[in-house]
Amino acid sequence: MNFLKWLSSKGNKLTKQEKDPELDQTIDSLLDQMKASKDFIHFVHNKGSNNMYCFYFKSLVDSEIIHRDILPYVSDEITSLEEIKANVPIEKIEITTDIKKIQNQLLTGSFLIKMSERSEEVVLITAELKQSREVSIPEVEFSVVGPKESFVESIDTNINLIRKRLPIPELRLDEFQVGKLSKTKVAIFSIEGITNKENLNTVIQRIQDLEIDTINDSSYIAQLISDNRNSPFPQIIDTERPDRLASVLAEGKVGIIVDGAPHALIAPTTLVEFFSAFEDYFLNWITASFFRLIRLFSVMFSIMVTPLYVAVLTYHYELIPKDLLGILVTSRREIPLPPILEAIFLELAIELLREAGARLPTKVGQTIGIVGGIVIGTASVEAGLTSNVLLIMVALAALASFTTPVYKMSNTIRLIRFPFLFMAHLWGLLGVAICFCFILGHLLRLTSLGRPFLEPLYPPRIQDLKDAFIRLPLSFQSKRPVELQTEDTMRFNSKKAKEKKEIDE
């Protein structure tokens, strides 16, 4: 930890004293600077008596707007900037002398008009070129039933997707610019009267305080505003489903959307939420609860099965049931490696395949990777490098880790298996227990926006268990989670929801 501090402090000393380059700029020097770029267009528009000087980036401005909505209205009668503002049928027109504003507007797609060569005052007409991918089906959080739209890279489209789902005036949107170079727009969603002010302010404060040059994705923000940045456990959920974001906003959470990122962030969150897929809410509560339990079991299985194998085979042969003894001994008979090396060999093989599969261009690559894994595994069993019992276990553990709905969490599960494995080799089941205590201690200390990460379990909140390991029917979900400390705790009237109305009543 001290080493990390030393590293970062050393880095700070090396940076030069910052200075704002825009301070001593004039509008001419700014325009000259921009003229160096080939895509910066400047021409003199003269119709009749007046010369008008026009400037814009052709790569940022929609030329159709210029030709249809701007130039035809800038005719010879016009003598002042105010008249332009009055004539041009575009709602976002500004007259300013502020260099900083002019620079920002030009760089986000505005059309600039000056009345004379030397004038300081300019008019800025917004003619932004909006280019974004079509809203497509979610790929990471795919669900068989339910809505099939996912966020795209454009922040406006994403905001639109949320506004459509929550058409209420209370839906509040705070927008900030983050990144010295990238000037990335970051929008924070909350619902007034529901979202806890403290949570919202924490997010706003952390985002305002960010000191970074570029933000390329929402995951940057997620890493930077997490409570504990050194934890392998993600403390903020990212989702690509607008329906999920809308539903958690209604629960009282804070949503963060970043321009250029097709993933929104949700905070605060708890550990169990990482194991609930949004599809759980589309299914009947019994089926949904069953699959949730299977998912939780598979997580435990995925983390524990190889360490237990190593621990039992190295230290605790007494634990093996007598009918299993023969199978295990026969499969290990010809293997020259001790259980730990055998397990690490197979685990690494699977990790390699997963990593290679993720880098392959298509999703097919992943499937081929796993199939390849089984083939390599079978070959290594035949060559006598690993036992086939372990091969089955490792393959099942890999499969089980895929059931985690949030990708970041499944990466964490992949990682924390290894400390367990080493401890199992060192001290057997005792080592596994010690390692488990460390992980549990770490989880207990974790917070998400200052709210406890292990929430319905510790501190125990019986009420929040309604949507943790099992998902009770929707009519039981009438109260917002205690964890979020919402201003309005009631979602709807549970009595009315439970009433069954007959049709002829």
Partner 1 sequence: MTRSICILFFLIVVLSSCVNKEILDDVRIATAVGFELAENEELKVTAVVPNYMPDKTITNEVATETARINKEAREKLDRTKSRPYVSGKIEVLVYSKEISEKGLMPYIDSYFRDPTVGSKIFLTVTDSDIQGLLQYQYGTRDNGMYISDMIEHNINVGSLPTTNFHDFLNSYYAEGKDPFLPLIRQIDNEIKIIGNALFKDDKLVGEIPEDKLFTFKSLMDRKTSQDSITIEMDKEKYAFLHKIKSNRTFKFDNVEKTKEFTININIEGLIHEYSGGKIDKKMAEEITKKTKEQITSQAEEMIKTFQELETDPLGLGEHVRSHTKNWDSKKWYETYPNLNVTVNTKVKLTETGIIE
Q: How far is CA 462 from the centre of its chain?
A: 29
Cα–Cα distance measured from residue 478 to residue 465, given in angstroms and rounded to the nearest whole number? 13
Q: Binder to partner 1 among 329, 358, 364, 379 (CB under 8 A)?
A: 329
Rg of the Cα atoms in the chain: 29
Nearest alpha-carbon partner for 133 in 150, 110, 146? 150
| 294 contacts partner 1 (rule: CB under 8 A) | no
Strand pairing partners for 57? 40
Residue 133 is classified by DSSP as P
By CB under 8 A, which span of 66-74, 292-300, 310-318, 363-371 interacts with partner 1?
310-318
The H-or-E segment that residue 482 falls in is none
Name 135's Cβ contacts closer than 8 Å, sequence gap at least 6: 149, 150, 152, 157, 161
Q: Which stretch binds partner 1 (CB under 8 A): 204-212, 267-275, 328-336, 483-491?
A: 328-336
Q: Which one, 320 or 465, has the nearer CB to partner 1?
A: 320
For residue 360, state whether it binds partner 1 (rule: CB under 8 A). Answer: no
Q: Does 313 bind partner 1 (CB under 8 A)?
A: yes
Q: How far apart are CB 327 and partner 1 at their closest, in Å?
A: 9
Listed ranges 156-164, 234-242, 270-278, 331-339: which one lies at the site for partner 1 (CB under 8 A): 331-339
User: Please, what is the Cα angle at 51 between 50 and 54, to 5 degrees?
Assistant: 135
Residue nearer to partner 1 on the CB measure, 294 or 324:
324
- Residue 383 contacts partner 1 per CB under 8 A: no
**Binding test (CB under 8 A) with partner 1, winner from 318, 499, 502, 505:** 318
Contact between 328 and partner 1 by CB under 8 A: the answer reads: yes
Asked if residue 382 binds partner 1 (CB under 8 A), the reply is no
Residue type, 217: D
List the one residue from 282, 407, 438, 476 that touches partner 1 (CB under 8 A).
438
450 binds partner 1 (CB under 8 A): no
Distance between CA atoms of 35 and 37, rounded to whole angstroms?
5
Shortest CB 330 distance to partner 1, Å: 5
Closer CB to partner 1, 41 or 335, in the complex: 335
Chain centroid offset of residue 104 CA:
27
Which of 315, 357, 386, 412 lies at the binding interface for partner 1 (CB under 8 A)? 315
Residue placing its CB nearer to partner 1 in the complex, 392 or 430:
430
- Which member of 268, 339, 405, 456 binds partner 1 (CB under 8 A)? 339
Angle at 405 between CA 132 and CA 259, to 5 degrees: 25
Residue among 244 and 417 whose Cβ is closer to partner 1: 417
CA angle 130–136–142, rounded 5-degree value: 145
Distance of CA 86 to the CA centre of its chain: 43
Decide: is 384 part of the binding site for partner 1 (CB under 8 A).
no
Cα–Cα distance measured from residue 49 to residue 370, given in angstroms and rounded to the nearest whole number: 74
Distance from C-alpha of 451 to C-alpha of 196, rounded to nearest angstrom: 12
How many residues touch partner 1 under the rule CB under 8 A: the total is 26
Q: Which amino acid is at 70?
A: I
**Dihedral sign, CA of 135, 140, 143, 146?**
negative
Site string for partner 1, 397-436 (x = CB under 8 A): -----------------------------xxx-x------
Residues that bind partner 1 (CB under 8 A): 1-2, 312-315, 317-318, 320, 322, 325-326, 328-330, 332-335, 338-339, 426-428, 430, 438
